[in-house]
Structure 1
Amino acid sequence: MKEYLLNKSNKLFLTVSDIANNLSISKESAKVTANRYVKSGSLIRIKRNFYITSEKFRRLNEPGLFQIANFIEVPSYISLTTALSYYGITTQQLQNIIESVSLKRSKVQSVQNIQFKYYKVKKSFYTGFQMSNNFFIALPEKAFADAVYLTSIGKYSIDFESINFKKLNINTVKQFIEAINSNSITINFWNRLCKRYKI
């Protein structure tokens, strides 16, 4: 019955205070209840003092998972192959992996069967994203520019053969790469890419 009440909540995430209010119990009791439900698998701890019910997590669609990704690491935005797949620019599909670009750290966090991967970039490169459907996601050209940059420095790997370059504004990609990153390694990598794929 208590789990049912938590699942009825309109909030995606629940704090200890939310649990206390939903179950009409004290905050101290809510802490104990939250820990017990995490151990039993009814609740998933996303990060300190933030939970989601297992049932709600199982029902999440792609935008919902993107919201989770934004929430786990702040600030961050969906990018790379995940964003390119979302936009229909790549045929490459990642199974149970959500990729993001972050400002503070690179890390991987697993929640149930989903891996949330974060790739750190310098502050000057943390741009070119927008809010869409309640989550932050790179613009198509920035998602590709992120992939080019991280691949050029050996921090990432993308299947360029799967990219539909006709769906990208190549001049915009070039502007992101040249304006935000003066790294000659990245510029040279980009030039070789353009030559190879005639873009």
Structure 2
Amino acid sequence: MQYLKLKESLKDFTVFSLADIRRVDSSFHRRRLNEWQEKRYIKKLIKGYYIFSDLELNENVLFEIANRIYAPSYVSLEIALSYYHLIPESVYGITSISTRRTYQFKTPVAEFSYRTIKPKLFFGYELVKYDNKVFKMAMVEKAILDYFYLNPLINTENDFGSLRFDRDMFFEQVSEERLHQFLKLFARKTLAKRIRAFWKFLSGEGEV
């Protein structure tokens, strides 16, 4: 298959695999991928996954790539908290949650990191649409709980302050009811205690 024909066939793909190509051309030989990389037509992200070199990269594209190259997964933790404008923007890489083992990929376009959780805690994300495509993003309440769950040493007011949460954005976006619903599903008393303390810290009022 010629490169231009392949590109037309996969024009709706942000990231594609050898399997995707072979659904279009069952006789495709993987050595062509090496040739196209040498010609800089495509870029290899990780083993088995590629993008076209002229793909316009932005945050949404990187989120979709994160979902695809290590599935099942959804975007969460630091990058999600930044996405919701709860913490200052910084260089977090693309952080995600997965039921697979904790892993990290350094690619030509970004660094993708995945933290593992139990399958029963793989919930609380939604499909975010962009340009007729979608990516899985943690809901704001789940991003907060994922972060605290996987960072158990964050439990004092000094720790809370160091996170630099935007109080106004927090109370504007976070549903107290949904936060508690999700928290119950974690079934962790220590986590619940830390979340109550964090809420108290941000609100300056009594416990929830």
Pair in the same fold by TM > 0.5: yes
User: Identity of paired residues, percent?
Assistant: 25
For residue 137 of structure 1, what is the aligned residue in structure 2? 137
Distance 1:11 1:191, change over 3 A: same
For residue 52 of structure 2, what is the aligned residue in structure 1? 53
The 1-side partners of 2:124 and 2:84 are apart by: 15
The 1-side partners of 2:94 and 2:177 are apart by: 27
More helix by share: 1
For residue 183 of structure 1, what is the aligned residue in structure 2? 188
RMSD of Structure 2 on Structure 1 (CA): 3.0
Query: Aligned AA for 1:108?
Result: Q
Partners of 1:17 and 1:27 within 8 A in 2 = no
**How far has the Cα of 1:115 moved from its partner?**
0.7
Partners of 1:96 and 1:113 within 8 A in 2 = no
Partners of 1:7 and 1:55 within 8 A in 2 = no
Residues 1:197 and 2:197 aligned together: no
**How far has the Cα of 1:69 moved from its partner?**
0.4
Distance 1:146 1:15, change over 3 A: closer
Runs of 4+ with deviation above 6 angstroms: none
Equivalent residue in structure 2 for 1:72, among 59, 69, 72: 69
**How far has the Cα of 1:139 moved from its partner?**
1.2
Unaligned runs of 5+ in 2: none
Distance 1:36 1:183, change over 3 A: same
Cα deviation per residue 1:112-132 (whole Å; 9 max; x = unaligned)? 141111111112211111111
Distance 1:68 1:165, change over 3 A: same
Query: Aligned AA for 1:107?
Result: Y
Partners of 2:46 and 2:105 within 8 A in 1 = no
The TM-score, its normalising length taken from structure 2, stands at 0.75
For residue 101 of structure 1, what is the aligned residue in structure 2? 97
For residue 28 of structure 2, what is the aligned residue in structure 1? 27
The 2-side partners of 1:117 and 1:6 are apart by: 30
Unaligned runs of 5+ in 1: none
**How far has the Cα of 1:97 moved from its partner?**
0.9
- Secondary structure of the 2:164 match is helix
